[in-house]
A = this chain, B = another copy of it.
Amino acid sequence: MGNWDEVRTAYQVARMGTVSGAADILGVHHATVIRHVDALEARLGVKLFQRHARGYTATEAGEDLCRVAQATDEQFSQLAGRVKGKGEEVSGELVVTSLNGLAPLMSPTLSAFQERYPDITVRYLTGERLFRLEYGEAHVAIRAGAAPDQPDNVVQKFVSQSVGLYAAQSYVDRHGIPASEADYAQHRFVGHDLETNRAPFFVWLNAHVPRENVLFRSTDNRAMELAISAGAGIGFMTVKDAESHPDMVQIAPPRPEWYASLWLVSHVDLHRTAKVQAFLKFVKEQAKDWNAA
């Protein structure tokens, strides 16, 4: 079935009964309508209309086509209505992705967002591998580290969490507090397992603390946090996280170069939709007081 437009033209001819009437509705010249009908009949090998001076009347085949095309027309009209609305209303799925470590931060916000927009189904995808926005795997990603600059991605600054060096009271009781940076070589640290990690505070750690002093290593932020809390060593935590743990001792105050910047990333094709805009607005409102600066 080669050409759907010809079906549409024939449908209007069957509805109107005249070529001229169909041409008016379709907004084309009546010669075009005649050619469409002729082409369609030639392809099907069947006469769809009987031609006479008062217009065209559909044969059985033409009436059959008319019924099918009418159903199609209604389906397409409904589709257009749905699709146009879909760009303006906040409903359906919202897929958000981030690395594992941000789950404690995001979960309450996503929950609140779902409560605010009950038509939304929130899917929060986390994992070690980065879900890729450009393949449509997610609407919004929360990325950490340096500002991503992939083309076709819209990047907005989210929060800059202030990060400090902390240790548990139990660790301080046993090993004391380092007096200066030179003293760090005598202490135990909690750090990332991969030396190539680009997080700013881990870069700083690699530069200022011998690798052999990083005795607890993990790839999971949550595991490191629990390790610090359990007294395994000195490590980086956000000020907010540290405050939520009892008996946490600040070894070094937050520094600007340690800031853990988070970025809201969305694909340019979806960024303008009302759904994504509503989410970005909502999450920035929620995070207003998380900022360090």
Contacts and interface: CB of A to CB of B under 8 A. Distances in A.
Number of contact residues on A: which range applies?
35 or more
Interface stretch (A77-85, A192-200, A216-224): A77-85
B68 A75 contact: yes
A135 B52 contact: yes
B84 A44 contact: yes
Given A1-B73, A76-B68, A60 B92 contact: yes
Contacts of A52: 134-135, 152
Given A83-B64, A93-B60, A47 B136 contact: no
Interface in A45-89: 45-52, 54, 57-61, 64-65, 68, 71-73, 75-77, 79-80, 82-84, 86-87
A87 B46 contact: yes
A49 B82 CA distance: 16
Contacts of A48: 83
Nearest to A77: B1
Nearest to A48: B83
Contact of A86 (B60, B73, B135): B60
A149 interface: no
Contacts of A46: 83-84, 86-87
B75 A61 contact: no
A188 interface: no
B44 A64 contact: no
A267 interface: yes
Contacts of A173: none
Oligomeric state, in number of copies? 2
A65 B79 contact: yes
A58 B83 CA distance: 13
B5 A50 contact: no
B76 A1 contact: yes
Interface string A163-178: 0000000000000000
Interface string A5-38: 1011000000000000000000000000000000
A37 to B, nearest CB: 12
A118 to B, nearest CB: 18
Given A4-B76, A7-B4, A77-B1, A61 B87 contact: yes
Nearest to A267: B50
A180 interface: no
Q: Which of A45, A83, A84 has the most CB of B within 10 A?
A: A83
Given A4-B4, A65-B79, 17 more contacts: A1-B73, A4-B5, A44-B80, A44-B87, A47-B273, A48-B83, A49-B269, A50-B135, A52-B135, A54-B135, A58-B136, A61-B83, A65-B83, A68-B76, A72-B72, A72-B75, A72-B76
